[in-house]
Amino acid sequence: MSTNRASRLRQWMLTVFGLVALIAASSLSTRTAERDGGILITEIRGAIGVAATRLVVDAIAKARQENARYLVIHLDTPGGLVAATRDIVRQILTSPIPVIVYVSPGGARAASAGTFIVYAAHVAAMAPGTNIGAATPVDLGGLPGLPRPTAPQRDEKDKDKANPAADTAAQRKTLNDTIAMLRSLAQLRGRNVEWAEKAVRDAATLTAEDALKESVIDVVALGLDDLLTKIDGRKITINAVEHTITTNGATRIMFGPDWRTRLLGVISDPNVAFILLLIGMYGILFEFWNPGGLVAGVIGAVCLLLGLTALTALPVQYAALGLIVLGIALMIAEVFTPGLGILGIGGLTAFVTGSLFLFDPAGADIDISVSLPLIIASAATTGALALFALGAAVKARSRPALTGAEQMIGSVGEVVEWNGLQGRIRVHGEMWNARAKLPLAPGDAVLVVQRENLTLLVTSK
């Protein structure tokens, strides 16, 4: 009896142990499955703007959704908007998914804003034939096309401390803020702090091989396969926790921008935004000139809304935008109040000046001004439209009146009744009271020379 009881007890214990082992194995497999997510791969090409920020945000969200191990960003940029760069850096620093920034392919660059993105990455890599650096804020050089301001004279003992790139308090403030940002990223990721300052202060650049020697990046890789092989086993820190990179056997998931991000990237180009604004204003004006057509009004409204959407993604100087609107308004006013051309000349000057200063250079580390040929072509087009409208107005004034009281002037009628110096005549099939300076007789042809209320003044024809 006791033997059977002991046997059942052993079976029961074995069953419990088996269940515990099964649960532990299931939990382990779940954790393994979570760690065995793929590697999400995306790319940023061109200037850094709101579209690039949106792409990074969407890519990190997708990586979390797919339980991805890492996010790889192929980077090739000349720079971009300061605000967008800070947003991307913030997204990388707070990302729970390790971000690997790879400057590729050969010939690509991580200039200006790209330098900050590379420094912010958990793993920074470059392909042979690429370069990094030149992170000096572009507005320190003054307006596009103008020479850099010269530094004030200093004593010889202070000459070594002088910095010709930062002459005013505002310039020094911008420069020091930019340096502090890149230095903090270098300290956070354990990269070359001295060269980070040099990249901003002196616009220094490095090739991929030199960047590796200077500890600016972690890896030089011939391609994505080579990159994943070289970083396998590397240790990184995420939220103060050390993590070992494991890329062996990971699947690769390509991720691209959606249509909204692509559209935002197109319209946020300064030249495209400028053209959309002009088309929008022209379309609405044409609708006012010729109401009921709808086509010009609809196209103008859509383009104007797209242009305003683009302006929200760009550092706009609204005083300059006001000058553009004022310039168009003055050129149109010249059509309706023709004089010595003062309104037209003033409008053209305001339009060109507003176009030149439409975008604030302090909001980007690359030149984002509207193209000068585009400004000239737009000003010429606006002036030509104003002259066309003026010519049409002058031509319309020379035409005979077709409606209203003026329509009767110059019309030929026939006397129906006449007594002395007044009577009744027929003009355009209608009976009118008439007066004349000389007596007339029924059947005489008369010419209308004036109208006074409902009485026509006529002469013999």
Which residues are known catalytic residues?
A: 112, 173
Picking from 133, 197, 142, 135, the residue whose alpha carbon sits closest to that of residue 166 is 142
Question: H or E element: which one contains 289?
Answer: helix 270-289
99-103 and 131-133: which strand pairing?
unpaired
* CA 64 to centroid of chain Cα atoms: 28
Rounded Cα distance between 229 and 223, Å, is 10
CA distance 369 to 260: 24
In the block, residue with structure tokens 């009485």 = 455
Distance CA 327, CA 388 (A): 17
Q: Are 100 and 77 in contact (CB under 8 A)?
A: no
Q: What angle do CA 355, 358, 361 make, to 5 degrees?
A: 130
Q: Are 274 and 382 in contact (CB under 8 A)?
A: no
Token pair, residue 160, equals 């070594």
- What is the C-alpha separation between 219 and 320, in angstroms, rounded? 46
Alpha-carbon span 305 to 240, nearest angstrom: 45
How far is Cα 99 from Cα 73, in angstroms, rounded to an integer? Answer: 7
